[in-house]
Structure 1
Amino acid sequence: MLFQALTLPEPLSQGIDEAGFTECTPIQALTLPLTLGGKDVAGQGQTGTGKTAAFLITLFDRLLRQAGGGGQPRALILAPTRELVVQIEHDARLLGAHCGFSILAVYGGVDYQKQRETLRAGVDIVIGTPGRLIDYLKQKVCSLKAVDMLVIDEADRMFDLGFIGDLRYILRSLPPYDRRQNLMFSATLNHRVMELAYEFMNMPEEVRVDADQLTAANIEEVLYHVASKEKFSLLLGLLRREAMERVMIFVNTKREGERLQALMTANDCKSRMISGDVAQEKRLKIMRDFKAGKLPVLIATDVASRGLHIEGVSHVINYDLPEDSEDYVHRIGRTARAGATGKAISLADERGALSLEAIEAYIGHPIPTEWAEDDLFVTDFKRAARPVRSGKGPNANRIPEGGAKKRPRRRRS
């Protein structure tokens, strides 16, 4: 189905054309006829299939055809992570460039007063994480009583991150569910999410695309079994052998990510690491550099596994296999987006192998296994310097030029 067949308002059609969209993806073709007709929809589709464009096109179409909200927000989009909020804002400004609506991204870590003043002055569309938005609502900076459309993106992740209480607080601040349109999209719609859907939506249509195939067909998956002490040796060999233009490497913990980045730096592999503890301004700069091609390797915890669209990611590497099976689907979905092809490589060490059976049961197929030849391992790599531990003084852990400190002899009494 072509977008021009949808008879959208001219300002919206112009934004779609400038974004380079011509033909609807399967999730768009199934949902847009319903959502443009005013129906509530809970949609599931593989990552990278155009769910964000589906709800943004519906949102702009509805706002263009209806009267304004008197300076209060007319549409609210909720997402679980700051990075996803920033990306949705970018896509909204692209598709809605000629629609004339004011858009504000509300999230923690940056611009508290600036966001507050902009929200108080009045905006049409708010895209935000629940926590920062609730903070402004409690201060009565704005009202959500004029919201005509609600979108919840990555709803299953909202559960994982414990946002359910915050969601219900925000829902109580909105008009009744039958006086607004409600859309919910995610790569996975489980039983818990659908319970929430029936709680805040008005008889939603459930739309699932490729529900039996959670991983995209254009992703080449491969698994290597490797001892934990040889993981970096194999990773370095893979990075040197494969034509990796832009790669995301996922780890389970911040500590492992920092250790891996130190090893990469010691071996002249340019990389940066993001996790939930990294300052927001720094995270955004790292993401900008990665998207612009200035940074070839991004190391990340699962803060970057959901919803982010980064063009040209040729490879995803699970340096650690995720403990949550759903995270495997979202991680490898960072490659092969919008019809492109990509490769997902997983390294299963002694600990990670414990998660393998559950992951394969969840995705419905075994991950093809390859056995690494000896020449693929890089054995002469440089070790990373150990981090300096904090002591009582600035030189507490410094080793003098003459060697290690000698312990003073104890006098015998």
Structure 2
Amino acid sequence: MLHERKEDEAMVKKDDLPLPRHYPYAIIVVPTRELALQVTSWSRRLCRKTPIRTQLLLGSYTRWPFGTLTLPTSPDVILCTPQVLAGFTRGGGYKKKTPLFEQVQMLVVDEADMLLEGGYKKQMDSIFLEFRHSDKKAGTAGRRPTQYVFAAATIPDRGPVSIRKTIASLCPGANFLCTRSLHCQKKELNQEFLQIPADASFDDRVQLLFEKLQEIPSTEKVMIFCNTAQTAKHVLQVLEKILPPNAKPTLFSSDVEQADRARNLGLFAREKSKVLVCTDAASRGLDIEGVSSIIQFDFALDAVSHLHRVGRVARAGRCGRAINFYEAKSKPLVDAVRQAASDDTHGCLAGIFSRKRSFRKSIKKGENTSMALVVESASPEGG
């Protein structure tokens, strides 16, 4: 990117004319608004001593917003969610032809396993379709095809529904790179597992939760994970009554309005709140300083979700604690997680990612294979 900037600056000096650039060199797509804000902040910090500029786009637009009097030159890097970028595709209803997808030189897909399936798949398909058409023209136009980078902490291989196979299909010449810690529980993570009796009531679970919170120093921050927004709301309502005022628990889930969600996360990050009651909406990518412990009020429904939840602590070499409540129905998954944590692989969970088959079958048939952390230098296959 710096090389491209230097080429543009050389052209400006040569012709002694302004050379506004209307499109970014790179676009980074992330699944959530909160993660987009975080990545933008880090991008600006990393590029502080370089000429590279980063711009965050949120909401929706009716036209590409750069090349105007107020923004005469596009930023070098754009951060956005799939909703924003898909709005400029034909599949997203954009009627005017835009050279955006021909001009962008790099597309980064963060949390790739989340964006390439589920609710994001339709938007991402329309985005990749536009890039396919643009890359077909690249050879005749004498320019390089777009470079694609897929980044994720988990890229599960689940048989027919495999993110690895999806990436290989999009980019047949892909290079797969991974770290040793991929799909592994961190050795700095101390885990405690507590089985909830079958006859335990919701109040009994909350009482146990309160007792565990009492064990954590009041100066430290805690994230409490629930499987549904409704459960998270109920837990918050009880904690507001029994916790001291300085704890001030806050809520983070998809049922919370966007403005309130941002405010609650901000209070937690600034230590105005010590307890964040949340769903998996807060498990992906968020790096909140000072979080020492997580509590799974409801145990994760699969190994991938478990990895992302416990990944909120024990970051950057620091120690962390995970307190896991579980019921009898979750015992096969819990047993596999505990077994993985105790073996020489430092907790590799790749062999228990399957969600199509029953969990007991996945343990017998799973394999601890290495997966990709980043895929780069590959173009989508022509459609």
Residue 72 (str. 1) matches residue 23 (str. 2): yes
Q: Would the alpha carbon gap of residues 84 and 139 (structure 1) be closer, same or farther in structure 2, given more than 3 Å must change?
A: farther
- Structural mapping, 1:13-28, within 5 Å: none
What is the CA-CA distance between 1:211 and the residue it aligns to?
5.4
Specify the SS of the correspondent of 1:71. Answer: coil
Of 239, 253, 267 in structure 2, the residue corresponding to residue 289 of structure 1 is 267
TM-score by length of 2: 0.71
Q: Would the alpha carbon gap of residues 355 and 63 (structure 1) be closer, same or farther in structure 2, given more than 3 Å must change?
A: farther
Specify the SS of the correspondent of 2:312. Answer: coil
1:180 — aligned with what? 146
Specify the SS of the correspondent of 2:340. Answer: coil
Q: Is the 8 A contact 1:224 1:348 kept in 2?
A: yes
Q: Distance in 1 between matches of 2:338 and 2:163?
A: 19
Q: Is the 8 A contact 2:192 2:323 kept in 1?
A: yes
- Structural mapping, 1:14-413, within 5 Å: 61=2, 64=5, 67=8, 70-108=21-59, 112=60, 117=65, 121=71, 122-137=74-89, 138=94, 140=96, 143-174=100-131, 175-176=134-135, 179-191=145-157, 192-201=162-171, 203-210=173-180, 214-227=184-197, 228-229=200-201, 230-243=204-217, 245-268=220-243, 269-349=247-327, 353-361=328-336, 365=340
User: Which amino acid in 2 is paired with 1:346?
Assistant: N
Q: Is the 8 A contact 1:84 1:308 kept in 2?
A: yes
User: Which amino acid in 2 is paired with 1:201?
Assistant: C
Q: Is the 8 A contact 2:191 2:322 kept in 1?
A: yes
Q: Distance in 2 between matches of 1:115 and 1:312?
A: 40
Identity of aligned residues (%): 26
Q: Would the alpha carbon gap of residues 294 and 105 (structure 1) be closer, same or farther in structure 2, given more than 3 Å must change?
A: same
What is the CA-CA distance between 1:196 and the residue it aligns to?
2.6
Q: Distance in 1 between matches of 2:49 and 2:103?
A: 23
Deviations 1:224-274 (A, max 9, x none): 112442111111111112225011110011111110111011113411111
Structure whose alpha-carbon radius of gyration is higher: 1
User: Which amino acid in 2 is paired with 1:95?
Assistant: L
TM-score by length of 1: 0.66
Q: Distance in 2 between matches of 1:119 and 1:82?
A: 25
What is the CA-CA distance between 1:134 and the residue it aligns to?
1.6
User: Which amino acid in 2 is paired with 1:168?
Assistant: D
Deviations 1:85-128 (A, max 9, x none): 111111111111232333222334xxx56996468743321111
Q: Would the alpha carbon gap of residues 79 and 204 (structure 1) be closer, same or farther in structure 2, given more than 3 Å must change?
A: same
Q: Distance in 1 between matches of 2:257 and 2:4?
A: 35
Deviations 1:118-167 (A, max 9, x none): 68743321111111222244265772221111111111112453322211
Q: Distance in 1 between matches of 2:342 and 2:252?
A: 27
Q: Would the alpha carbon gap of residues 252 and 100 (structure 1) be closer, same or farther in structure 2, given more than 3 Å must change?
A: same
1:402 — aligned with what? none
User: Which amino acid in 2 is paired with 1:307?
Assistant: G
Q: Would the alpha carbon gap of residues 62 and 249 (structure 1) be closer, same or farther in structure 2, given more than 3 Å must change?
A: farther
Q: Is the 8 A contact 1:328 1:359 kept in 2?
A: no
1:48 — aligned with what? none
Aligned residues: 303
Q: Is the 8 A contact 1:221 1:367 kept in 2?
A: no
Q: Is the 8 A contact 1:311 1:337 kept in 2?
A: no
Q: Would the alpha carbon gap of residues 285 and 136 (structure 1) be closer, same or farther in structure 2, given more than 3 Å must change?
A: farther
Q: Distance in 1 between matches of 2:301 and 2:24?
A: 39
Specify the SS of the correspondent of 2:119. Answer: coil
Q: Would the alpha carbon gap of residues 187 and 292 (structure 1) be closer, same or farther in structure 2, given more than 3 Å must change?
A: same
Q: Would the alpha carbon gap of residues 261 and 323 (structure 1) be closer, same or farther in structure 2, given more than 3 Å must change?
A: same
Q: Is the 8 A contact 2:232 2:277 kept in 1?
A: yes
